[in-house]
Structure 1
Amino acid sequence: MIKALEIPEQYLRAFSKDDINAMPLRRYEGPVVVVRTDKQRKKAIREMEAEPVLGFDTETRPVFKKGKKPGPPSLVQLATADRVYVFQIGVLPMCNGLCDLLAEKRVIKTGVAVRDDILGLQRLAEFTPRGFVDLSDITAQANMQTHGLRNMAANLLGFRISKSAQCSNWAKDRLSPQQVTYAATDAWVSRKLYLALQELGLIKR
């Protein structure tokens, strides 16, 4: 998956908080489908099965009590070339196609720290993950100093993304517009980063 080659020096530097905060703020502004019904899920899965690369992320309800472990994810976000699907798996279980998509080797699912996301999802349903690419693994092997989603976006895309909604309640029945935008942005950026690394020659086409 990863080529051993030189990449421009500009991508190898570290970014401070001040560096990132000085960059323009971007968020996903395209269409988002919040998947809550069987009909929506079937349509979404059918469309994503034809996509070669999907941006991937999950959101989990935060835990504020010391010593208490977080529960399984409440959302799964998947970004195509022209829209983002936000699956409310706390409302609509993961069966009937979503697990099959996550196990489909042919469709690349890419994100940051995907192992933790997968482990969380496997608490809800049985599936064998295939086709996942962790962006952090690629940047680490290329000796890049940026591994988290926010740092990678600054380095490779030239903008910052907001983390203001990160600790909100993802398990609630009706998500706010701010939550939907935040969740969609993470998946959208993951896909854009994969394509940017591909352009640098770090991922084989």
Structure 2
Amino acid sequence: MGSETPNSDSDWDYPLTDEDLRAIDSAFSSAAATSAHPPKRRHDRDRSGASADSPPQIRRRLPDSLFVRISPCSTRSRFHSSRSNSHLSSFREINFGGRIIYSRTVEEVERAAKELLDFVEAKKRNEEQCILGLDIEWRPTFRRGVPPGKAAVLQICGHNNCCHVMHIIHSGIPEKLQILLEDRTSLKVGVCIANDASKVLQDYNVSVSALAELSDLANQKLGGVPKKWSLSSLTETLICRQLPKPSKIRLGNWEVDVLSKEQLKYAATDAYISWYLYQVLKTYPDSAGNTSAETVST
């Protein structure tokens, strides 16, 4: 198996405690109810501040899987509108807190892909849909006329305790990884996921099947004027955390011989957050007047 990064840094935390999640759940429900039914004048309200004829709120229940192995944190829970940028500095950064399995040789990548295929099969046996957060990194170019590098890193996360980071610029995409990517029973989720799949096809002639775009799902669930969500804006809106995007890492050299600890953490966090936000969005009901099916590309 590939190398595993240690999990000793104090800032490698799980995103939210049970209390955090329930507070956000309550805040979102309250915000949605207020938006749909504006409060009456003061004399029409009872002492608790609630409108006398307000309908009961519809509560969402976050799935139990989101409460697994979430460590305590001191961050206060808040729900903010994505339209406001004044709160960004108040959000605590989020980083993946589980085990990062790094693979770079053909043999290591094949073993990692085999582990993920076994995970997919276990989900099938339990009649559960397998969701995989997927993202890629490549070396950017800063000269006109010079194309960017090939997809160099492929990161996949299917749970909150483990993320695979595969250094495919060195290994290529061997057989078992190709089988995993082409598998139509495991849903690969992310922001601009179709663009990532297109680059993998262009660079390695491998099709990534069964894609779900988080931006489309967010528009379906959150309503309002459709927008092009980024992974960062979704993270801030849905779980009140800031997704770190340091330019030194994001625009760095992903074709190095061995990825640094900072690169591994960055890559794993993106894949993990993609997986995590999909779980959160699926608990939301479709917005009023928007019952269209989730966009899935095969």
Which TM-score applies when normalising by structure 1? 0.87
Indicate the residue corresponding to 1:192 in structure 2: 276
Give the CA deviation at 1:130: 1.6
SS in structure 2 of the partner of residue 90 of structure 1: helix
Indicate the residue corresponding to 1:3 in structure 2: none
Indicate the residue corresponding to 1:168 in structure 2: 252
**1:148 and 2:230 matched:** yes
- After superposition, the Cα gap between the structure-2 partners of 1:19 and 1:86, relative to the gap in structure 1 and judged at 3 Å, is same
Q: Distance in 2 between matches of 1:15 and 1:190?
A: 21
Instruction: Confirm or deny: 8 A CA contact 1:28 1:181 kept in the other structure.
Output: yes
Q: Return 5+ residue gaps in structure 1 as ranges.
A: 1-6
Instruction: Confirm or deny: 8 A CA contact 2:82 2:236 kept in the other structure.
Output: no
Q: Distance in 1 between matches of 2:206 and 2:228?
A: 31
Instruction: Confirm or deny: 8 A CA contact 2:150 2:169 kept in the other structure.
Output: no
Instruction: Confirm or deny: 8 A CA contact 2:133 2:157 kept in the other structure.
Output: yes
**1:59 and 2:127 matched:** no
Q: Distance in 2 between matches of 1:60 and 1:16?
A: 31
AA aligned opposite 2:135: D
Q: Distance in 2 between matches of 1:180 and 1:129?
A: 22
Q: Please, which of 68, 75, 84 is the counterpart of residue 153 of structure 2?
A: 75
**1:105 and 2:184 matched:** yes
Indicate the residue corresponding to 2:97 in structure 1: 29
Give the CA deviation at 1:66: 2.9
Q: Distance in 2 between matches of 1:38 and 1:201?
A: 43
Give the CA deviation at 1:16: 4.1
More helix by share: 2
Give the CA deviation at 1:14: 2.5
Give the CA deviation at 1:141: 3.2
SS in structure 2 of the partner of residue 123 of structure 1: helix
Instruction: Write out the 4+ residue segments of structure 1 that deviate beyond 3 Å after TM superposition.
Output: 7-13, 15-18, 201-204
Q: Distance in 1 between matches of 2:256 and 2:215?
A: 30
Q: Please, which of 203, 208, 212 is the counterpart of residue 129 of structure 1?
A: 208
Q: Distance in 1 between matches of 2:165 and 2:217?
A: 26
Instruction: Confirm or deny: 8 A CA contact 1:20 1:151 kept in the other structure.
Output: no
AA aligned opposite 1:39: E
SS in structure 2 of the partner of residue 74 of structure 1: strand
Which of 1 and 2 has higher RCO (CA within 8 Å, sep 6+)? 1
Instruction: Confirm or deny: 8 A CA contact 1:146 1:152 kept in the other structure.
Output: no
Give the CA deviation at 1:146: 6.7
Q: Percent identity?
A: 25
AA aligned opposite 2:255: A
- After superposition, the Cα gap between the structure-2 partners of 1:12 and 1:25, relative to the gap in structure 1 and judged at 3 Å, is closer
39-48 vs 69-78, which moves further: 39-48
RMSD value over aligned CA atoms?
2.3
What count of residue pairs does the alignment treat as equivalent?
A: 198
Indicate the residue corresponding to 1:89 in structure 2: 168
- After superposition, the Cα gap between the structure-2 partners of 1:17 and 1:172, relative to the gap in structure 1 and judged at 3 Å, is farther
24-33 vs 125-134, which moves further: 125-134
Q: Distance in 1 between matches of 2:108 and 2:162?
A: 14
Q: Distance in 2 between matches of 1:29 and 1:20?
A: 22
Q: Distance in 2 between matches of 1:17 and 1:63?
A: 30
Q: Distance in 1 between matches of 2:254 and 2:103?
A: 14
Give the CA deviation at 1:20: 2.3
Q: Distance in 2 between matches of 1:18 and 1:59?
A: 30
AA aligned opposite 2:229: H
Which TM-score applies when normalising by structure 2? 0.61
